[in-house]
């Protein structure tokens, strides 16, 4: 089959080159964007007088027939067509005749793929944003029910201070809030239309690039034709943001794995989102969070892959950038399913409040409150207070109890500088609620954070409508 670009070639392409060169088997994902871009380009060509009204109508009718064929799974994608752009143009000419050959006037595959891919990335930017907001909403709903549920807050994976479970969940949501903000920033930075740039230097046809940008929903045309066809920052921005999202998901997944273990038993995952062992019939494995944790690696790899492709490319377009799409498609698919299943996994899990409280009584979580009491009420220097608290902890360790279980008389006997009333500050609930500054773990402050994040979610969901 003669290539649309093959006029100066004496020999046909080898079958091996066709297989190596073709991208049609993966860039067919861009068919809808390619048809949208082609419609806008045809309208612009009619506007500047390259196409007559009848020619424009024939081309648009043909493109819509192709769209219907693809949607009905009646379109045959052929390796010989190389890419989605050539496949659609070849079919268009077959359907509408010679006028179909006019569509490519005043454009190149360089600006064509740049606009298709950019539109695809921006569309999925909105889809991922929507899923993030839904996941945030789910977590906040759980957090609201647990602002008084005490569990050990940890540093170095060691028991540190008492917090409430809702407070811990709010920390997860704060991560996702930043991801939403990154996506919004990416969208605003990249919402510019490269179509009309031609191969690298513009065109002599007087393309109305403002019209193209408006037709396709961009905020404006890109500034420089050479940059427009050769940069893939928009794809790298997306891959970086997806990597950040997966990093946050992976950290949540790690905690779900830990918390569902027999050693913690803070939560139980639903049977619907767990699996068993092929040899050990008693096992209930947290495969969903483990897979979520593992998928972060492939998303990171896609980011590094495209960075490596782009790092040494001279301007303008190079065929290397054909390697820009598969990693983006794969990462978007991974993040899409990951957010959906994380949301369902969280909605269906059981929270074991009694075990959380029991574990909060291990590790002397209110020790810092004793030190603060010595400083604030007993006029003891913090370094001395730290030392005295250590003595109380050592005493409790020898007895095999938590310091919150010691009697006031026992504590007073350890150092004469300790004043009465000390027992009260060692209560885990009081310790948690004592951290009542902005951003703290008290039930009141946790609810403030939930309300603020809920307002953020509602506002940004309304912006997507």
Q: Catalytic residue positions?
A: 156, 277
Placement of tokens 């008290």 in the chain: 442
- Give 292-295 contacts, CB < 8 A, sequence gap 24+: 292/249, 292/250, 292/252, 292/253, 292/338, 292/341, 292/342, 293/250, 293/253, 293/254, 293/257, 295/246, 295/250, 295/334, 295/338
Longest dimension (CA), the chain: 101
Give how far the C-alpha of residue 84 lies from the chain's centroid of Cα atoms, to the nearest Å: 27
Tokens of 312: 């040494």
Angle in degrees, 0-180, between the axes of helices 165-190 and 109-144, rounded to the nearest 10:
160
Asked if residues 229 and 114 have their Cβ atoms less than 8 Å apart, the reply is: yes
Placement of tokens 């600006």 in the chain: 111
Neighbours of 360 (CB within 10 A): 25
Q: If 0-12 CB within 10 Å is exposed, 13-18 middle and 19+ buried, where does residue 437 land?
A: exposed
- Across 65-94, b (16+ Cβ under 10 Å) vs e yields ebbeebeeeebebeeebbbbbbbbbbbbbe
In angstroms, the CA 91 to CA 81 distance is: 10
Tell me 316's DSSP state. S
Asked if residues 52 and 2 have their Cβ atoms less than 8 Å apart, the reply is: no
- Give 19-25 contacts, CB < 8 A, sequence gap 24+: 19/79, 21/82, 21/319, 22/79, 22/81, 22/82, 22/83, 23/82, 23/83, 23/84, 23/322, 23/325, 24/77, 24/78, 24/79, 24/81, 24/82, 24/83, 24/84, 24/86, 24/87, 25/77, 25/79
Q: What share of the chain is helix, strand, coil (3-state, %, to 5)?
A: 65, 5, 30
In angstroms, the CA 221 to CA 228 distance is: 9
């Amino acid at each position: 089959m003669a290539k649309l670009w093959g006029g100066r070639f004496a020999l046909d392409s080898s079958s091996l080159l066709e297989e190596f060169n073709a991208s049609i088997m993966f860039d067919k994902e861009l068919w809808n964007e390619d048809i949208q871009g082609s419609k806008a380009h045809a309208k612009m060509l009619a506007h500047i007088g390259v196409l007559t009204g009848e020619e424009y109508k024939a081309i648009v009718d043909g493109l819509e027939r192709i769209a219907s064929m693809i949607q009905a799974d009646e379109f045959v994608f052929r390796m010989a067509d190389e890419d989605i752009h050539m496949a659609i143009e070849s079919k268009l000419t077959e359907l509408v005749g010679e006028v179909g050959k006019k569509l490519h006037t005043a454009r190149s595959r360089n600006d064509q793929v740049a606009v298709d891919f950019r539109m695809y990335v921006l569309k999925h930017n909105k889809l991922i944003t929507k899923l993030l907001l839904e996941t945030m909403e789910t977590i906040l709903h759980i957090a609201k029910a647990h602002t008084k549920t005490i569990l050990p807050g940890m540093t170095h994976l060691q028991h540190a201070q008492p917090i409430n479970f809702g407070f811990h969940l709010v920390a997860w949501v704060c991560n996702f809030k930043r991801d939403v903000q990154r996506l919004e920033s990416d969208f605003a930075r990249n919402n510019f239309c490269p179509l009309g740039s031609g191969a690298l230097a513009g065109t002599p046809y007087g393309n109305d690039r403002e019209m193209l940008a408006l037709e396709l929903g961009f905020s404006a045309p890109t500034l420089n034709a050479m940059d427009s066809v050769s940069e893939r920052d928009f794809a790298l921005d997306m891959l970086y943001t997806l990597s950040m999202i997966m990093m946050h998901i992976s950290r949540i997944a790690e905690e779900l794995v830990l918390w569902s273990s027999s050693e913690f038993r803070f939560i139980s995952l639903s049977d619907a989102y767990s699996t068993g062992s092929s040899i050990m019939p008693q096992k209930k494995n947290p495969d969903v969070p483990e897979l979520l944790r593992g998928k972060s690696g492939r998303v990171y790899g896609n980011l590094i892959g495209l960075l490596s492709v782009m790092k040494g490319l001279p301007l303008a377009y190079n065929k290397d950038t054909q390697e820009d799409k598969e990693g983006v498609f794969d990462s978007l698919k991974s993040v899409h399913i990951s957010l959906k299943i994380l949301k369902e996994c969280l909605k269906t899990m059981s929270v074991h409040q009694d075990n959380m409280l029991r574990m909060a009584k291990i590790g002397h979580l209110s020790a810092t409150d004793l030190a603060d009491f010595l400083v604030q009420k007993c006029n003891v220097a913090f370094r001395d207070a730290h030392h005295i608290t250590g003595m109380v902890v050592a005493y409790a360790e020898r007895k095999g109890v938590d310091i919150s279980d010691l009697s006031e008389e026992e504590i007073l006997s350890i150092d004469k500088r300790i004043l009465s009333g000390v027992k009260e500050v060692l209560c885990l609930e009081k310790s948690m609620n004592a951290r009542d500054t902005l951003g703290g773990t008290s039930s009141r402050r946790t609810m403030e954070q939930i309300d603020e994040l809920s307002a953020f979610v509602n506002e940004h969901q309304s912006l997507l409508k």
